[in-house]
Structure 1
């Protein structure tokens, strides 16, 4: 490992630990399950992931486990990740180029949406429109993702998208950085919340016309720097309240 890779890994550990802590604060965690990962090698195959069955509110940068997606003996290690973490994230880091960071979880509103026969994120406001034709849908749930084929199928479903809605399961977002992937997760759950609330009224959705939905989705790129600023601001809140996440 080069000095640059070591420096990058240190920052990735801090950011990934922050993402876990912040997601817990948002109420998106599920017991001691679900997994966040970040690639540390140029080919993406060496990656960090949260330790097996540690509550997200306690995870520190030094707790994150370093894995190699090509190492078949990973699950024999004393610090082996959760089987479903290995199944999903090893496949993502092997097969999905944009999965430098992969955040997989079951947040309440996105999971409720994923449980519908039609889990489509329809563009009904500017946040839902962010995902117009910009999210993949995996409609082939096969149970708890502890088998290699389940992870491989999820990876195949992603295509070039920055997020995947996993029917009967949850969601995964991707990014070049932890900040981008976490901001995507935040806005995906917000979009799902808006849709679930709209559906709950029993009235028909006022879906944006295709051209307007596309224009709104494209306009989000104007605010690309806000994704980084959002995560930086959230880390400042952690620094004030729980600075041990960086340890």
Structure 2
């Protein structure tokens, strides 16, 4: 694919500029929160109506250095795009192509192996009991894949993409987590709070003391309050962009 020059970016001619800037912001904040892993893990954002054309991070670019112009525009219907294994991460292309083809409602797809989400994913019992406000956010709202069969290539990617359902969180057993949303802000907010919920749960379990589990009624009530809270994820993400605009404005280039 052609590379857009920095002059074009600065003049505002970069295709999907807003989408690129939002995704670049998500990458940089994921690195700031230490939820990334080496130059692995990947985020994507659909830009076509049917979800088959999507932006994704290039192979080898660190999350903390991601810029709007770095993001690749790929097509989920291609089988062997040019640059696969070089500029395109094979696992990223396989997983995100399948996710966008099979889940058109999942406009933004974020996949990481973050510390506490991965810790939960390694347990035989991957349930998340409602023990605080954050864990209650995900009450009966987590899809779990228990059929890990490799790194997400080929048939594994297709299988993973069919386990999400209508939810926004997919815990990949022995692998990591995927969160999705209609926008980058929504998907990132889910990722942020899911990792916080997992941190609380793993920390509480580490004490060896009995968990104080809320009733189903309270847990469901709280989850619905999360869903109906006005503008929370948008305000969260806008605040993150404001910080980067001041401290790391290069993410927009």
Shorter-chain TM-score category? over 0.9
Pick from 55, 58, 80: which aligns with 1:73?
80
Matched, 1:148 2:171: no
Deviations 1:186-210 (A, max 9, x none): 0000000000000000012111111
Paired with 2:230 and 2:190, the residues of 1 have a C-alpha distance of 11
Matched, 1:111 2:118: yes
Counterpart in 2 of 1:182? 188
CA contact (8 A) 2:68 2:251 kept: yes
Runs of 4+ in 1 over 2 A off after TM superposition: 75-80
C-alpha displacement of 1:73: 2.7
Pick from 163, 168, 173: which aligns with 1:157?
163
Matched, 1:217 2:223: yes
CA contact (8 A) 1:180 1:227 kept: yes
1:189-228 to structure 2, matched below 5 A, reads 189-228=195-234
Paired with 2:214 and 2:120, the residues of 1 have a C-alpha distance of 19
Deviations 1:170-222 (A, max 9, x none): 10100100000001000000000000000000012111111111111011123
Q: CA RMSD in A?
A: 1.5
Counterpart in 2 of 1:92? 99
Deviations 1:21-61 (A, max 9, x none): 00000000100000000000000000000000111111100
Paired with 2:96 and 2:52, the residues of 1 have a C-alpha distance of 10
C-alpha displacement of 1:14: 0.3
Segments of 5+ residues of structure 2 without an aligned counterpart are: 1-12
Paired with 2:216 and 2:36, the residues of 1 have a C-alpha distance of 34
TM-score of the aligned structures, taking structure 1 as reference length: 0.94
CA contact (8 A) 2:106 2:182 kept: yes
Pick from 232, 242, 246: which aligns with 1:240?
246
Paired with 2:84 and 2:161, the residues of 1 have a C-alpha distance of 24
Paired with 2:15 and 2:199, the residues of 1 have a C-alpha distance of 34
Pick from 11, 20, 45: which aligns with 2:27?
20
TM-score of the aligned structures, taking structure 2 as reference length: 0.92
Segments of 5+ residues of structure 1 without an aligned counterpart are: 1-5
C-alpha displacement of 1:77: 5.3
Counterpart in 1 of 2:44? 37
CA contact (8 A) 1:74 1:80 kept: no
Q: 1:49/1:32 Cα in 2 relative to 1: closer, same or farther (>3 Å)?
A: same
Counterpart in 1 of 2:55? 48
Q: Greater helix share, 1 or 2? A: 1
CA contact (8 A) 1:136 1:158 kept: yes
CA contact (8 A) 1:138 1:154 kept: yes
Matched, 1:64 2:78: no
SS of the counterpart of 1:157?
A: coil
